[in-house]
Structure 1
Amino acid sequence: ESLVEDVLLGRYTQARGVLPPGTLGFNPQLRGYPYDPPRARQLLKEAGYPGGNGLPTLQIWSSVKRDETVRFHEHMQRYLSAVGIRSEFHYLTDWPSYSRALEEGRLPVFLYAWYADVPDPDNFLFKLFHSRSPRNFFRYANPSVDDLLLAARSAPDLQRRVELYRKVEQLVLDDAPLIPMMHHTYERLFQPYVRSVEVNGLGDPYIPFRKIWLERAR
């Protein structure tokens, strides 16, 4: 929350799950991962790294290196350091090279933004977390998730699909192959005579202009 509000100045919304608001299956009841330094230090101690001693430095990769993102990364490092985790950021700003490194599994910890093609949960959850998806850069594999994702594709109605996708999302959050951090937001102004503007969870690129009409002055 501090990263989104203080560093990014509220231009994004904090992510408490994978699916963004406005997408079928979005679950407003999800609370996200709490920031709990005492618990984190206890887990490090139980894992054999009291105070982070002996723990290798976390190597984190990013494809973006702007002033804003560097500040974001520096704040991340402070939060990690507070529980005894040392980290270093590396930048590979040539996207084809970064994408190739992801596909080859050469980036153990990385930052990644996902822009879906359609506002449907399948376009998020299947593409990112099915074990055979080429976009599953996390190398995540959970047979229960695979089965639920396939069942959701053939579910007979929307309510059943929502139930299945929410189960998938909860399993993914429990396994934690990633930490959802934020959702992009869009702010646009329209004159009051511009009517039938429909905006879904994917924002600007998916506003159906064919439905927009201009109200004539009387």
Structure 2
Amino acid sequence: MKALKPLLLTLTLAVGAAHAQGTTLTVATGQDPQSWDPIDTFLMAWGQVGHNIYDGLVIRSPDLKLQPGLATKWTALNNNKTLRFTLRKNVKFHNGEPFNAAAVKFTFDRLLGPEGKKGPQQANYNAIKEVKVIDPYTVDFILSQADPVLLTKLAGYGAMIVPPKYLKEKGEDYFNTHPVGTGPFKFVSYKNGESLKLQAFKEYWGGAPKVDNLTYRFIEEPSTRVAELQAGRIDIAQGIPVSQAETIKKNNKLVLQAVDSPTAMSLRFNTSKAPTDNLKVRQALNYAVDREAIIKSILQGYGTPIASLQGAKSFGYDPNLKPYPYDPTKAKQLLQEAGVKPGTTIGIDFVGTDAVFREVAQAVAGFFQAVGLKPELKTYETNTFYSDIIPKNKTSNAYQMGWGGWTFDFDNTAYLLYHSGQFWNPDYKNPAMDKLLDEQHNLSDQKKRLTILRNVAKMTHDEAIEIPLYNQQDLWGVGQRVQNFKAPSDNLLNLKNVSVK
């Protein structure tokens, strides 16, 4: 009997260790946002992670319906000039700090103040003049202007609620890499460019997650993500390249999920740099590109052509607005009229690790060459491209611009990309465009907004600000042990109810 005791003790310890380790869901994404502060970024990669750490006042369900989040209800007051939110009680941040009206006010004072001004999120919420605490679980948002998309935005990025005491004690820099929210998973560790490890927050107000641990791996190279998925070292892989779609579909241990996304891809022009500062040149380059051929040969059909930077699900989409037809003869004529000599250099910038867009850029270069131009391709590292090259107007004549219009409202794309002075618009300035964008931004009449947004789309088309290429389908690779995962159409992952066998 004595001899059995050490064995029993060993087995008990082993079972205890296994239980402590628990189930782990591992997700691979293509980009590390490098800051987990909600106000620091506008990248879809943040949304794929951040919605598991933080909550907003409002939540959007997978069917794109708005639901109560940290607010149980909201009411419009004072002729829609005030939004009153009733807050959820008995909610805690991961550090034990209580969630209340003071946390909401702190979050929005910070977002709308000097700290928020450093990042790209503030412009989304400038309709909010002030947040007033009515009582510990009631806040009023005093609006300086109407914003018909505000509730949807509150379910998004910058409006995620943050802990006042923790931020004040630890500071902004520490918070960037050690996030604390009220979401279903809490922070464990972060290795820049490698991984982020989270653990189930058992006290989550919406119920404990189905897995004990959630690990994100940041794998920029798509082929490596696929290889890791095939090897079983990751459970869910975002951004499966179309070239690997059939490989995933033929693997009986994997499932390919394709979903219509809000992401629209374009080749945007630098309108401050010759020769793309000339409208006729920009129009010529639109005529020079065969979008249908790109979708058929490179995307293998996982996409649809677009005439503006939005897909058919977007509020503001105009089915009567058609893309520039493929007409290389017309392109040559316009280039000649613009005085562009054969052999003129046209620079094309893009993210070097984006395998699909690399092929797209090469195809576009071929089309440009066919009308007598000399294309020059230049690649950048992802974060450098989106945090430095684009916003600081360091691009060549044309550059990759993919926009995930996750609100499915063209305002949230157009205002940030075409209104002068915006973070993502370093060069294009047009008072007529600003007037249209400002006018619809302040309307609550949806019918009038739709008309204006369609006029905005037409103006981007007529001004040839970019070459709208395609509305893409997002491809996700999923291991068979994963249960209850459905690829999100808005790219905002919420993995609380996902489990593994």
Shorter-chain TM range is 0.7 to 0.9
TM-score, normalised via structure 1 length: 0.80
Q: What are the within-5 Å matches in structure 2 for residues 62-211 of structure 1?
A: 62-108=350-396, 109-137=398-426, 139-186=427-474, 203-205=489-491
Contact 2:309 2:403 in 1 (8 A): no
1:36 Cα deviation after fit: 1.1
Match of 1:46 in 2: 337
Q: Which has the higher helix share?
A: 1
Distance 1:7-1:97 versus aligned 2 partners, 3 A rule: closer
Q: Which has the higher strand share?
A: 2
Identity across the alignment (%): 26
1:126-153 CA-to-partner distances (Å, cap 9, x unmatched) read 011001211114x111111111111102
1:92 Cα deviation after fit: 0.6
Match of 1:194 in 2: none
Q: In structure 1, what residue type is equivalent to 2:369?
A: S
Q: In structure 1, what residue type is equivalent to 2:320?
A: Q
Tell me, what secondary structure is at the counterpart of 1:19? Answer: coil
Contact 2:389 2:395 in 1 (8 A): yes
Tell me, what secondary structure is at the counterpart of 2:447? Answer: helix
Cα RMSD between the aligned structures? 2.6
1:25 to 316, 319, 331: 316
Q: 2:385 & 2:428 partners in 1: Cα distance? A: 22
Q: In structure 1, what residue type is equivalent to 2:451?
A: E
Unaligned 5+ runs, structure 2: 1-291, 477-485
Tell me, what secondary structure is at the counterpart of 1:141? Answer: coil
Contact 2:310 2:405 in 1 (8 A): no
Q: In structure 1, what residue type is equivalent to 2:412?
A: N
Distance 1:105-1:3 versus aligned 2 partners, 3 A rule: same
Which has the larger Rg? 2
Tell me, what secondary structure is at the counterpart of 1:23? Answer: coil
1:57-94 CA-to-partner distances (Å, cap 9, x unmatched) read 11111013354433322221211111101101111124
Q: In structure 1, what residue type is equivalent to 2:387?
A: S
Q: In structure 1, what residue type is equivalent to 2:472?
A: H
Contact 2:420 2:428 in 1 (8 A): yes
Q: 2:355 & 2:310 partners in 1: Cα distance? A: 28
Q: 2:310 & 2:410 partners in 1: Cα distance? A: 7
Distance 1:94-1:172 versus aligned 2 partners, 3 A rule: closer
Match of 1:6 in 2: 297
1:175-202 CA-to-partner distances (Å, cap 9, x unmatched) read 11211111122478xxxxxxxx9x9xx8
Distance 1:81-1:144 versus aligned 2 partners, 3 A rule: same
Q: 1:13 & 1:148 partners in 2: Cα distance? A: 27
Q: 2:475 & 2:389 partners in 1: Cα distance? A: 33
Mean Cα displacement is larger for which, 122-131 or 86-95? 86-95
Tell me, what secondary structure is at the counterpart of 1:2? Answer: helix
Q: 2:321 & 2:367 partners in 1: Cα distance? A: 22
Contact 1:127 1:133 in 2 (8 A): yes
